[in-house]
Amino acid sequence: MLSRRRALIALLAGSIFAAAAACNLLTGASALGVDDGATAGVNEPRARQDADAVDAPAAPPPVCECVSPPPPDWTGPFALIESTGAARACPTGLTPVFDGGAEPNSTPPCTSCTCGATSGTCATSVTIYGALPGGGSTCATNCRAAQPIDTTCTAFNYCAIGQGAIATVDAGCEADGGRVSPASWGRGGTACTFAAVVPTTCPTGQACAPRSEGAPAARVCILHAGDVACPAGPYAARVQYFASIVDGRSCTACECDPGPGGGCGTGTVTVYAGAGCTNAIKDVPTSGACTAFTVSMAAGSMKVTASPTPQAGSCTPRGGALADGGLDAADATTLCCL
């Protein structure tokens, strides 16, 4: 009887120990039921991480500021957000009713000129100049614009019968650039209003203007399309923004001059008295130097008789400057602010 009772006690004790062990496995407690600090050391940073992962509180919604109402034909009041460069977006809770720019600019006004590597061919052009009174010649005043010339016979009209001069130029590099640079706004402005209906407690005779912590420097303004004066009353600070830029600029063409070791070698252009490249009267080097000649008729012909060849190296660009014109802002909107 005693043996059966001891066995029953042992069985009961074993069952209790097994149940406790299972419970410990489920709860994460140690086998001895003691927290050794390891679990806390792991869980505490995770708890902090979970807290950090929660998004920061959203910015407070915009509130109503009671101000003078706009006069007839004007709209508002709005929150005007101004910035350097492009117009900014409205903060949360506000939506744009207008955005525009001011002070159009472009720096630099023209793209820089560049010259490619010396090409496989050299193009020659000829410019004809007049003779000096009493004899002699100069390459100061041309009577014929520069004209391309190659090994094909080309008819020319000279400035006058008698003495004249020509200059030839070879271009061995292809020029690029000299285009108008894109224009942008120097200042931007955005007029914002409530994105949703906001209850107002403004007294009779006043209007509700949006005020947001997302744009603390915003001005309270009313607006009118076009270039108009501000109305009488508190909205007296006038500012204008525009919807578009009118670009009237042009740039000088880019050209390439032979650089050190680059460009084209010297060729020869032959001047003829006859229209069909007959009766040669002068060989002119394609060096760009002013070369005088004498003709007995007002018309003749020329052709390249020794083609210049490309030289290894590079060319020096020139041109690409602002020729004329400027930038204008168009399609104005007038804003008058408190």
Per-residue DSSP letters for 155-176? EEE-SSSEEEEEEEEEEEEEEE
Q: What's the average model confidence in pLDDT over 67-89?
A: 95
Q: Which residues lie across from 303 on neighbouring strands?
A: 270
160 vs 137 pLDDT, higher one: 160
Q: Give the model's pLDDT for residue 261.
A: 56
Give the Cβ contact number of residue 42 at 10 Å.
Answer: 10
The better pLDDT of the pair 287, 20 is held by: 287
**Helix, strand or coil, per DSSP, at residue 335:** strand
Of 118 and 46, which is predicted with more confidence?
Answer: 118
pLDDT digits (tens, 9 = 90+) for 188-237: 999 999 999 888 789 999 999 999 999 999 999 999 999 999 999 999 99
Separation of alpha carbons 156 and 147, rounded Å: 10
Q: Output 29 or 284, whichever has higher pLDDT.
A: 284
Which pLDDT belongs to residue 70?
97
What percentage of the chain carries pLDDT values higher than 70? 70
Give the residue, 54 or 187, on which the prediction is more confident. 187
**Pair 309, 256: CB distance under 8 Å:** no
Measured torsion, CA atoms of residues 51, 52, 57, 59, in degrees rounded to the nearest 10: 180
DSSP 49: H
pLDDT of residue 149: 86
Whether residue 91 has pLDDT greater than 50? yes
pLDDT for 160 equals: 66
H-type alpha helices, the chain: 2-27, 38-53
Q: Which residue has the higher pLDDT, 126 or 5?
A: 126
More confident residue, 20 or 318: 318
Angstrom distance (rounded) from CA 34 to CA 41: 15
Evaluate if residue 12 carries a pLDDT over 80.
no
pLDDT tens digits for range 239-292: 999 999 999 999 999 988 766 655 577 888 898 888 899 989 888 888 777 777
Residue 289's pLDDT is 74
Cβ contacts of 114 within 8 Å, gap of 6 or more:
175, 176, 177, 254, 317
Length of the chain in residues, anyone? Answer: 338
CB 254 within 8 Å of CB 319: yes
Q: For position 55, what pLDDT does the model report? A: 42
In order of 136, 187, 208, 209, 275, the CA distances from 288 in angstroms are: 18, 49, 75, 71, 24
Selection from 215, 250, 199, 229 nearest residue 88 by Cα: 215
Give me the pLDDT at residue 210, please. Answer: 96
**DSSP conformation letters of 205-274:** T-EEEEE-TT-TTPEEEEEEEBS-PPPSSS--EEEEEEEEEEE--EEPPPEEEE-TT-SB---EEEEESS
User: How high is the pLDDT of residue 27?
Assistant: 33
pLDDT, residue 282, reads 86
Residues 168-196 pLDDT 10s: 555 557 788 999 999 999 999 999 999 99
Question: Whose structure tokens read 């309270």?
Answer: 220
Q: Look at residue 275 in the predicted model and tell me its pLDDT.
A: 83
pLDDT score recorded for residue 161: 59
Confidence of residue 329 (pLDDT cuts 50, 70, 90): very high
Residue 46 has pLDDT above 80, yes or no: no
Q: Which residues pair with 79 in a beta bridge?
A: 192, 220
**pLDDT score of 119:** 59
Cβ–Cβ under 8 Å, residues 322 and 251: yes
Mean pLDDT of 36-58: 37
Which of residues 161 and 154 earns the better pLDDT score?
A: 154
More confident residue, 159 or 239: 239
C-alpha distance from residue 42 to each of 49, 53, 188 (Å): 11, 17, 51
Is pLDDT of 58 > 70? Answer: no
pLDDT at 26 over 70: no
